[in-house]
Structure 1
Amino acid sequence: MGTATDFVLNELRLFRNQLGLSQDDFGGSIGYSGSHVSSVETGGRPPTKEYMRAIDKHHDTGDRFTRMLHDLTQLDSTPSWLREWIEFEREATTLRWFELAYVPGLLQTERYARATLAGGRFTPEDVDRIVASRLERQAILERERPPQLIAVLDESVLRRPVLDQPGLMVEQCERLAELAAQTHIQVHIVPADVGMYLGLAGQFIIAELADGARVAHADNQLSAQIVDAPADIAKLGKTWELVRNEALPRRQSIEKIKEVAKSWT
């Protein structure tokens, strides 16, 4: 942990102690478990905006901890949500990932990753940095005890052409089928003939940590956020079950991916 982060965690511990509350009681007052509070205070998991806001709101601090987190974020050029999520991703035992637009970042080829950043929004230097970071994150799937990754993709993800990039989608689909055959990776495809379903509301990821706690990531065109409020996680959990029920079983999904790969040749 860096000095600035240590300061924030120390302030959280001091605040709780000044209130005379145990971690269980403090967590209960803001809608979190005692183990969650302990993990934040010891640096096991980063404090999120929702967590800090819950403290500020319940204890009427005048947004003290929300501002503190914002100031900490300014010390790092990487967006706070991405730094937070990468930490959760590394600690996760299970990742449940629904994608409506792109192949999940952990399963992308380098060419595909670069294609997702095309369009002039990023400088060439930014593209190189983001792609390198994304490929580095994929290492969690190759470690000795990798997380279980369960990915559900809308079929349109596989069918969407990438202009001026011949062979790119063949390469990506073949890579996806190869990864999906590994025991710790499951890929399920929601076929096009399903029509409208709940997943069309947007992409999300749910990470389950070693202590059983769950945290989620959701984004849109303008922002991305880490969600860890229990009620919101429960809603996303229900959405996940409904979306996964629309998807093909594992073997059929792999066959669908291979079928689409052939269509790109």
Structure 2
Amino acid sequence: MGIATDYVLEELRLFRAGLGLSQDDFGKAIGYSGSHVSSVDTGGRPPTKEYMRAIDERYRTGGRFVRMLERLAQLDAEPTWLREWIEFERAATTLRWFELAYVPGLLQTERYARSTLAGGRFAAEDVDRIVASRLERQSILQRPRPPQLVAVLDEAVLRRPVLGQPGLMAEQCEYLAHVAADEHIQVHVVPMDAGMYLGLAGQFIIAELPDGARVAHADNQLSAQIVDAPADVATLAKTWEVVRNEALPRRQSIELIKEVAKSWT
């Protein structure tokens, strides 16, 4: 956690202390549990925009805490629209990631990451910044106590060519097979012969936090959405189980990835 994030958390703690409220009482006032407030206070889970807005509305701060969160995002090198999710990602003990279109961001090579931003959507300097941010995010997998990452991807992800980039997919598949051998990383592939299955409705990620809470991330062409309502997360968890059961076992998945890598050479 950076200095700017520490500052925001300290301001939240000081604000609550100034009101003379316990974590339980403060949580009740803004519609959250005391354990949720405690987890935010200690940095176990990041304060979301909804959390900050609840404080601003309950105590009529004039939007102080939402502005503080937005300013924090501006100070960070990571894309603003991903800022909240990245904090959850850093805090997670387990990440369950399903992808239909791309290799999961935490497992991308630099060339592959850059290719996903092609098409003129971003200025050159923005592409450099986003790629650097994505690669920096991967550092959570090398820390002393990394999260358990279980990634499931559709076989089409491995077989989709990147035009004008010879060798890119071979490199990416070889890298994927290499990291999939790590104890804390599992990569599973849903084979083409699985036919139609529930996962085709869209990609998503479920993060399990140190306090046992779960939060999810889903995105589309226009926006990213953080899902933390228990019923919605439970629905995605059921979908995850169905998708995971459609995928090949770990060893067979790695063999398939290696086979596809050779097909690209």
| TM range, smaller chain | 0.7 to 0.9
Which deviates further from its counterpart, 212-221 or 175-184?
212-221
The yes-or-no answer on 1:69 pairing with 2:72 is: no
Assess, with a 3 A threshold, how the Cα gap between structure 1 residues 111 and 218 changes in structure 2: closer, same or farther: same
Please give the alpha-carbon distance, in whole angstroms, between the structure 2 residues aligned to 1:183 and 1:217.
Answer: 24
Give 3-state SS (helix, strand or coil) of 1:47's partner: coil
The yes-or-no answer on 1:159 pairing with 2:159 is: yes
Deviation string, structure 1 residues 207-237 (Cα, Å, up to 9, x no partner): 1122212222211111112222222221211
In the TM superposition, what are the counterparts of 1:106-117 in structure 2 within 5 Å?
106-117=106-117
TM score, norm. by length of structure 2: 0.85
For 1:5, the aligned partner's letter is V
Give 2:198's aligned residue: 198
- How far residue 162 of structure 1 moved from its aligned partner, in angstroms, is 0.1
Please give the alpha-carbon distance, in whole angstroms, between the structure 2 residues aligned to 1:151 and 1:163.
Answer: 25
Give 3-state SS (helix, strand or coil) of 1:152's partner: strand
Equivalent residue pairs, number: 259
Cα RMSD over matched residues? Answer: 2.7
Identical columns (%): 76
For 1:38, the aligned partner's letter is S
Q: Is the 8 A contact 1:50 1:228 kept in 2?
A: no
For 2:66, the aligned partner's letter is L
Deviation string, structure 1 residues 114-159 (Cα, Å, up to 9, x no partner): 1001111111111111111111111111122211110000111001
Deviation string, structure 1 residues 186-221 (Cα, Å, up to 9, x no partner): 000011111221211211111112221222221111
- How far residue 101 of structure 1 moved from its aligned partner, in angstroms, is 0.6
Assess, with a 3 A threshold, how the Cα gap between structure 1 residues 193 and 46 changes in structure 2: closer, same or farther: same
Which deviates further from its counterpart, 230-239 or 1-10?
1-10
Give 2:12's aligned residue: 9
For 1:151, the aligned partner's letter is A
For structure 1, the residue ranges without an aligned partner over 5 or more in a row are none
Give 1:249's aligned residue: 249
- How far residue 251 of structure 1 moved from its aligned partner, in angstroms, is 0.8
The yes-or-no answer on 1:209 pairing with 2:209 is: yes
Please give the alpha-carbon distance, in whole angstroms, between the structure 2 residues aligned to 1:70 and 1:256.
Answer: 48
TM score, norm. by length of structure 1: 0.85
Deviation string, structure 1 residues 16-48 (Cα, Å, up to 9, x no partner): x57x6x534664677754221211234432222
For 1:161, the aligned partner's letter is P
Please give the alpha-carbon distance, in whole angstroms, between the structure 2 residues aligned to 1:244 and 1:33.
Answer: 32
The yes-or-no answer on 1:134 pairing with 2:131 is: no
For 1:162, the aligned partner's letter is V
For 1:241, the aligned partner's letter is E
Please give the alpha-carbon distance, in whole angstroms, between the structure 2 residues aligned to 1:75 and 1:143.
Answer: 24
Please give the alpha-carbon distance, in whole angstroms, between the structure 1 residues aligned to 2:219 and 2:118.
Answer: 19
For 2:16, the aligned partner's letter is R
